[in-house]
Structure 1
Amino acid sequence: MTDSTIPPHARGYEDFGGTIGRTFADSIPAWPAERRAPEGSPNIVLVLLDDMGYSDISPFGAEIDTPHLARLAETGFRLTNYHTTPVCSPARAAALTGLNPHRAGFASVANSDPGYPGFRLELAEDVATLPEILRGHGYATYGIGKWHLTRDSLLNAAADKSTWPIQRGFDQYYGALEAFNSFFHPNQIVRDNTIIQREDTPEGYYLTDDYTDQALQYIKGLRASDSLKPFFLYFAHTAMHGPHGAKPEDIAKYRGTYGKGWDEVRRTRYEQQLAEGILPEGTQLPEAVGRLGRRIPEWESLDELTRDRYARYMEVYAAMVDNVDQNLGRITGLLEELGELDNTIIIFTSDNGGTAEGGAEGTRSYYSRFLHLPGVPADFDRDVDIDPNLIGGPRTMTHYPEGWANASNTPFRHYKGQTYAGGIRVPLIVSWPQGLAREADDDGIRTQYQYVTDLTPTLLELAGLPHPGTRRNLPAKEVDGASFASILPARDAPSTHPEQYTEFGGNRGFYREGWKIVADHEPGVPLDDGHWELYHVAEDPNELHDVAAEHPGKLRELAAGWEHAAWHNTVFPVDDRSSLSSALRRPAEAEFEKPVTLLPGTPKLERYRSSKLTTLRNFEVEVRLQFSPGDEGILVAHGDQGGGYALYIRNGHLYFVLNEYGRLHDVDAGPLEPGARRITLRTTLHPGFRAEHLVAVDGDTATRLRDVWALIGFAPFSGVDVGLNRGGPVHWGLHEEHGPFAYSGQLESVRYIPGDKAPYDPEVLATLERDTESAGD
């Protein structure tokens, strides 16, 4: 590819056109003749869900209503032995590049930065992506939804955007760069390279619907200008990732469905899977075992109130899956109306298995589940007591209990993050009526082992397009996946992917021709001390019978295979997050910890950038304003329904509000006198992850809030807002009454002054450990 064929964004213009385009028109190389895809090339739609289990759609056994997916399965193919990575970012990297996740730079999710080669947490310059390849072949390329392929420190408006979607091959992008989001008040939405600023979320807003509206707009816009150009639509859902939320009408559809409990749902799904041939005859249903080895309680052993609350969690989950299917139906409906459905390749799958991150009891305070730090007290609230009638709505941040995750992963054991089948075996549907017509006696079920790296080479082969082997005229890393196009028309064709390693956080696995080893790793335990389990998954797909003792030679063979693959794929050093050094960040991030003055009109700061000012440290917020009688509104807000704090004025009084993971503290700091005022919020951290908040006016203490939990672990999730509270509200009552509640008076500035970090901050401990070791050298 010559420089003249590289689009402006890829050549350094983060925003192109307007004045820039006119001023530098003479210096921009002339565009070559337009590249066109071969006539009749198929459209490609890749739909990727987040944290959805193997049995959560009707073609794979679910009772959830997914007629549009069922229609694709009826004419297409169900790959029942398809595998992915244990968590989301690695799966997305592998799907879009064909590379094993460590070679793609994504050994983990894009929310850390230990500095190892496999942990770049951004796609390197020598990694070619599917949208880049397809665009080079003349396709229009559209990205929708969750990205999570850019390191969290690069998500702010001032960051280098070379790994944002537009720079990685998409003509247009609309979605969220973060790992997850609120379905009712998203904390950040990006269009192309621009963070969208909405003062308030529209009435009735729902994220999946919004994503689909934009996808439809892209397709309609393309067809209005070009009747022939094929398109690639990458639709990466935020669903089913927590916090869970669904539209009231979708929840109502499932009201009462799950009162029968997870034991019965799991059993019914398993029987349906056997009846449809998803599972081979003789497959056993494993004992219901939780994430930490505890037995999941039998449904009937729970009291009535608990059963009611747990059932509500699953009603919300089912409603979310149903809504995804509805929106898929909107896309296929448009393609049918355009006469293009038959010549569109559609792939539908999940990035990993169902997750137990909601804990044994589920939660109505999702962000309080993310405190994976040493020293967090046992009495820390993992589930704030909120009216069960609010579960799934915009006022709560919920996630279902692991009993339902166990049902999601029917018939397999364990969950997201682990290398057992429950974490990495997910549904895959492939449909292309024009190019992959089935024989009349073919049920479309394919049982060959395939892996997430196979998606890119498969789509390229089906479309008849070569991989260029280069990116920007330089050699690109070789693809690890293998096309499975050959198994689709021929059910007896052999798997094209005979072996595969897996690793995440020290959890390991290796598959080779019907055999598999698994190591369920305990953080901090040396890998050499880990116990490999051996399963003959060709006969024991549920991994119920560890035959390591009976087949020591096979165990040694596969263990050596894993180690060879690990060295080849830059898996070492394995980071299981047990070392304090994993908490260290690169020195450039010190910029985020400097005092900063925010003026009225400043866009909402991005979550991670905001967190560096406040998380696990003392901090001070200084607000300067001119107050006149009648002025009111939000002065500063940081967070949303799931946790945060704000200062606001109402009826002449100053208030401090703390949303303690869903538990609201609304403190009256007294009346304000007219004139120039300096309001200060000082937050001090105490031992045991406790905090104290002091509010002062012109240096005099106005109020204190003592002995509350510190906000950490993705809370506050929404960033800092000045002069209003955009999106998700810290104070729901104020939001209902006033919306974003923009301050009506003269706000001069809001200054954040980060203070000392808490002594139990992992970065502090890691720095101390490093300095101690250096002193001893």
Structure 2
Amino acid sequence: MSPVDVEPIAVEEAAPSKRPNIVLILADDLGYTDIASYGSEISTPTLSALAQSGVSFTNYHTAANCAPARAMLLTGVDAHLAGVPNIPEMLAPEQRRHAHYQGVLGNNVVTVATLLGDAGYHTYMAGKWHLGAGPGKLPSQRGFERTVALADSGADNWEQRPYIPLYDKANWYADGEEYELPEDFYSSRFLVDKTIEFIGSNLDDEQPFFAYLPFQAVHIPVQAPQEFIDPYMGVYDSGWDVLREQRLSRAVELGIVPGGAGTVRMATTADWQVLDDERRRYEAKRMAVYAGMVEAMDFHIGRLIDYLKASGEYDNTLFIFTSDNGPEAGGPADPDGFAARRLTSSLGYNTDYDTLGLKGSYNSISPSFTSAAASPLAYYKFYAGEGGMRVPLIVAGEALPRQGVLIRAFSFVTDITPTILSFAGVTPPGDRYGGRPVEPMIGRSLAPVLLNEAEQIYAPADTVGYELAGHAALFQGDYKIVYNRSPLGDDRWQLFNILKDPGESHDLARELPQRFQRMLSAYERYAQTNKVLPVPQSYDHRKQLVLNTLYAGVREPFLILVLLMLLLSPFYVASRMKKASIHRTAR
């Protein structure tokens, strides 16, 4: 596939000073209906205003975990060819024998920051990187002029400490050097402060800027200031099943999903009614902190927009907001149990109800509320179901001719870099750049859709493939084939019309056998072209994280066993349920 060409009049012939600023905002582990304009009860007025001043994509897909998504987002190249088929923390040793399975961004790809910087843009980044910290791998060496970056998969939001025993410390870097966080650190506030600082440092030269703002919100540990938690106390007292239905209803009203969409209930979703009052109270607050963290992120995005308005840059800025993947179900089912308390206390955290979400507290949401965050979709982060791959995408700007529009056509994460380049008037590289061979981009610019020149950028026969740790999918037109591994998946390919059935509730494989077989053949071609390696037969991404932590030389093996118990407990329950692992129920 080659990028779609854009009419050059508005972009390439514009004077350099009139080229748009571009702000790329990336949430971490944000679910499909976690913001108000997509059906959430969470207050996100800044993002709602962006949605009203631009285009919201309801059928946008990304990788189902963070590093592959970020690699594709910033390069327009498939994650396997970019060197990031999975996060390095979860790669099997058998796979790491291969050069393109290292989990860090390869030197065979060029980032959007490099391309924009070479074209005269200032390039800034403040937030989570997770694409490598070795020689030549930090963002300051991949095209970003000013940076403050978290190299790890996650970290505390209140202070400089790791969140899992894999890391000895939280590894932050500023402009390529190790960095100590300030005492008054809170991640969302700090990252916006640094973004404003970077932008302000060069406003006088009238060069356009590209600012990449990848938040920690709402990755584990889920934490938020008390003033953002308080409005959600009591909101989730009815439980996850009620919340999932409420979000579905709102999403239908808003036109985000079609009326009558079917849903599935994940085997990892517990029965709210059997919990005692104290446990329900605790679970509801876990979700209240999550909602508070989303609202805090939105609030600080608002501060950035206010700054751009005050500095006269807002009208000439294109905003792109999305999430790296669907919501995370890795939190313990029972955070008050022995294993959870032992692990969190060993890392210096507590899980006390009164201080949940505050400094020193370790919080997450359970797999049950995770399914509500992805409502009405099936599965969540790591899996190839829509809940892991379909996330919000808002593209907004005062100069866009389309305002407050929903786009239902398919789009993919590799389309973001070509879109940015289109508006910047920068030609994507071919198979060489800077005197060296590079992987050509496969993504397509969304500019024709955004400029009201087309309703879709993929023809009905075009295919887009995907694979992560044995979970796989291929998209073609309104259809998707998908394979999710056990114990949560059922280890077989299925076919869905995801335009009519985004909840993947009705398998069409037997009804449309010819389409099914054609798409299976197309996936095999994708896997071969992109050098997809098989996972070991016994591979499980949660077990591999634990094993890799042990390989890293962690001094307390007992803690690793505790971590394994926490990660596997909800999935053990799921494996004991029906063989299909999912209760399929039509609404």
- Under a length normalisation based on structure 1, what TM-score does the superposition of the two structures give? 0.64
Match of 1:560 in 2: 521
Match of 1:282 in 2: 260
SS of the residue corresponding to residue 313 of structure 2 reads coil
Q: 1:468-496 deviations in whole A, cap 9, x for unaligned? A: 33332223211011112112233862333
Distance 2:499 2:374 in 1: 19
Match of 1:17 in 2: none
Distance 1:57 1:92 in 2: 21
Q: Is the CA contact (8 Å cut-off) linking 1:86 and 1:418 kept in structure 2? A: yes
- Counting only pairs closer than 5 Å after superposition, residues 124-139 of structure 1 correspond to structure 2 as 124-139=106-121
- For the pair 1:263 / 2:241, whether they are aligned, the reply is yes
Q: 1:646-694 deviations in whole A, cap 9, x for unaligned? A: xxxxxxxxxxxxxxxxxxxxxxxxxxxxxxxxxxxxxxxxxxx54xxxx
Q: Is the CA contact (8 Å cut-off) linking 2:60 and 2:393 kept in structure 1? A: yes
Shift of 1:327: 0.8
CA distance 1:348–1:121, change in 2 (3 Å): same
Shift of 1:370: 9.5
Across the aligned residues of Structure 1 and Structure 2, the Cα RMSD in angstroms comes to: 3.1
Q: What amino acid maps onto 1:309 in structure 2?
A: Y
Q: 1:157-178 deviations in whole A, cap 9, x for unaligned? A: xxx4201111100001102110
Match of 1:419 in 2: 384
Distance 2:314 2:21 in 1: 9
SS of the residue corresponding to residue 360 of structure 1 reads coil
SS of the residue corresponding to residue 102 of structure 1 reads coil
SS of the residue corresponding to residue 119 of structure 1 reads coil
SS of the residue corresponding to residue 54 of structure 1 reads coil
Distance 1:478 1:95 in 2: 14
Match of 1:767 in 2: none
Residue 469 of structure 2, aligned match among 483, 495, 505: 505
Q: Is the CA contact (8 Å cut-off) linking 2:26 and 2:215 kept in structure 1? A: yes
Residue 478 of structure 2, aligned match among 496, 501, 514: 514
Distance 2:283 2:250 in 1: 23
CA distance 1:612–1:257, change in 2 (3 Å): same
Shift of 1:397: 1.5
SS of the residue corresponding to residue 288 of structure 2 reads helix
Q: Is the CA contact (8 Å cut-off) linking 1:364 and 1:396 kept in structure 2? A: no
Q: 1:666-724 deviations in whole A, cap 9, x for unaligned? A: xxxxxxxxxxxxxxxxxxxxxxx54xxxxxxxxxxxxxxxxxx568759xxxxxxxxxx
Q: Is the CA contact (8 Å cut-off) linking 1:118 and 1:571 kept in structure 2? A: no
Distance 2:238 2:224 in 1: 21
Q: What amino acid maps onto 2:479 in structure 1?
A: W
Q: What amino acid maps onto 1:222 in structure 2?
A: N
SS of the residue corresponding to residue 80 of structure 2 reads helix
Q: Is the CA contact (8 Å cut-off) linking 2:63 and 2:324 kept in structure 1? A: yes
Q: Is the CA contact (8 Å cut-off) linking 1:366 and 1:399 kept in structure 2? A: no
- For the pair 1:307 / 2:280, whether they are aligned, the reply is yes
Residue 123 of structure 1, aligned match among 85, 105, 118: 105
Distance 1:80 1:369 in 2: 41
Shift of 1:99: 0.3
Q: Which sections of structure 1, spanning at least 5 residues, go unmatched?
A: 1-35, 372-380, 590-607, 617-688, 691-708, 715-777
Match of 1:229 in 2: 207
Match of 1:403 in 2: 368
Q: Is the CA contact (8 Å cut-off) linking 2:376 and 2:503 kept in structure 1? A: yes
Q: Is the CA contact (8 Å cut-off) linking 1:132 and 1:169 kept in structure 2? A: yes
Match of 2:176 in 1: 193
Match of 2:158 in 1: 184
Q: Is the CA contact (8 Å cut-off) linking 2:23 and 2:213 kept in structure 1? A: yes
- Counting only pairs closer than 5 Å after superposition, residues 175-574 of structure 1 correspond to structure 2 as 175-186=149-160, 187-197=170-180, 202=183, 204-223=184-203, 225-226=204-205, 228-284=206-262, 286-289=263-266, 293-297=267-271, 299-361=272-334, 386-434=351-399, 436-438=400-402, 443-469=404-430, 470-490=432-452, 493-496=455-458, 498-522=462-486, 530-574=491-535
Distance 2:503 2:23 in 1: 31
Q: What amino acid maps onto 1:163 in structure 2?
A: K
Distance 1:611 1:712 in 2: 16
Match of 2:576 in 1: none
Distance 2:15 2:245 in 1: 48
* Higher RCO, Cα 8 Å, sep 6+: 2
Shift of 1:77: 0.6
SS of the residue corresponding to residue 81 of structure 2 reads helix
Q: What amino acid maps onto 1:392 in structure 2?
A: G
Q: Is the CA contact (8 Å cut-off) linking 2:128 and 2:151 kept in structure 1? A: yes
Q: Which runs of at least 4 in structure 1 moved beyond 6 Å after TM superposition?
A: 363-371
- Under a length normalisation based on structure 2, what TM-score does the superposition of the two structures give? 0.84
Shift of 1:282: 2.6
- Counting only pairs closer than 5 Å after superposition, residues 614-633 of structure 1 correspond to structure 2 as 614-615=554-555
Shift of 1:507: 0.9
Q: Is the CA contact (8 Å cut-off) linking 2:124 and 2:144 kept in structure 1? A: yes
Q: Is the CA contact (8 Å cut-off) linking 2:380 and 2:387 kept in structure 1? A: yes
Distance 2:463 2:447 in 1: 18
Match of 1:19 in 2: none
SS of the residue corresponding to residue 104 of structure 1 reads coil
Q: 1:47-98 deviations in whole A, cap 9, x for unaligned? A: 0111110000011011111111011001111000000011100000000000
Distance 1:357 1:294 in 2: 11
Distance 1:72 1:579 in 2: 39
Q: Is the CA contact (8 Å cut-off) linking 1:42 and 1:343 kept in structure 2? A: yes
CA distance 1:369–1:466, change in 2 (3 Å): farther
Range with bigger deviation, 402-411 or 419-428: 402-411
CA distance 1:119–1:62, change in 2 (3 Å): same
Identity of aligned residues (%): 33
Distance 2:504 2:544 in 1: 34
Q: 1:516-555 deviations in whole A, cap 9, x for unaligned? A: 11111138x9xxx942111122322211011222222222
Distance 2:560 2:308 in 1: 50
SS of the residue corresponding to residue 234 of structure 1 reads strand
Aligned residues: 531
Q: What amino acid maps onto 1:221 in structure 2?
A: S
CA distance 1:614–1:408, change in 2 (3 Å): closer
SS of the residue corresponding to residue 516 of structure 1 reads strand
- Counting only pairs closer than 5 Å after superposition, residues 46-195 of structure 1 correspond to structure 2 as 46-111=24-89, 112=91, 114-150=96-132, 155=133, 160-186=134-160, 187-195=170-178
Q: Is the CA contact (8 Å cut-off) linking 1:37 and 1:137 kept in structure 2? A: no
- Asked which structure has the greater CA Rg, the reply is 1
CA distance 1:450–1:365, change in 2 (3 Å): farther
Q: 1:244-276 deviations in whole A, cap 9, x for unaligned? A: 111121112322222232222222221111111
Shift of 1:365: 9.3
Q: 1:589-634 deviations in whole A, cap 9, x for unaligned? A: 9xxxxxxxxxxxxxxxxxx8x9845446xxxxxxxxxxxxxxxxxx
SS of the residue corresponding to residue 115 of structure 2 reads helix
CA distance 1:346–1:710, change in 2 (3 Å): closer
